[in-house]
Amino acid sequence: MRSICLSMALALLCATGLRAEEETVSLFNGKDLTGWHADVPRMDNNADVKSPFIVRDGMLVSLGTPPGHLITDKVYKNYRLDIEYRFPGAPGNCGVLVHASKPRALYQMFPQSIEVQMLHENAGDFWCIEEDITVPDMEERRGPKDRWGINGDKLRRIRNLTDGSEKPLGEWNTMRIECFGDRVDVWVNGDLVNSGHNATAGSGQIAVQAEGSEVEFRKLLFTPITEPSLKK
């Protein structure tokens, strides 16, 4: 009897684990910005300044200006984030920030975080914003070691593995970001474009930028994970 109960308990645990892997939810409901809040410095003391984050035709849209961030209300860890985005007009800059915490930690604008870049032709770069991460070939991809840093004029950018993964302007791109423990792995249109470890944060909020160019998001899917896709 005891062995039967043990078997049933193990089966239940396995089933629960499988469900955890499959519980994909959208962070954006397609109707409004429930679950998010905007942090836009120019809105602090000027009621006439409008938020750069809107909902249009069922999509989350970052208008690009005024600069700021749209930040989840919740904190997340150990997850996969599947994104579909495009620049509908002129090419430009945007990014998704993971492990975000202290607001306006850098330049009174950027929350403490690790940015996964969406800048046209640079998608998948890491930018260290008061947090850090390690990748292979660090000096080749970040520059001289004595200039590395996480703030000010230090070398905060870690270049991606390829700039050839993006679709032509106006077409939809997919980006997958996996955060697990101290690791952050990024794919663009199915290509692995960055893989970092020893991240100085392992959990935090998720943020979308307004940083100069209009970007449309039609998918922001969140899935809890119990192990990373890439093995060490």
Strand order in the sheet with 95-100: 36-39, 68-72, 205-210, 95-100, 113-117, 126-129, 157-158
Contact 52, 40 (CB under 8 A): yes
pTM for this entry: 0.90
pLDDT of amino acid 11: 45
CATH architecture of 25-224: Sandwich (2.60)
Residues with Cβ within 8 Å of residue 183, at least 6 apart in sequence: 195, 196, 197, 199, 228, 230
pLDDT of amino acid 10: 42
Element (H, E) at 138: helix 138-142
pLDDT of amino acid 91: 87
Per-residue confidence of the chain (232 residues) as pLDDT tens digits? 444 444 444 444 444 444 445 699 999 999 999 999 999 999 999 999 999 999 999 999 999 999 999 999 999 999 999 999 999 988 889 999 999 999 999 999 999 999 999 999 999 999 999 999 999 999 999 999 999 999 999 999 999 999 889 999 999 999 999 999 999 999 999 999 999 999 999 999 999 999 999 999 999 999 999 999 998 6
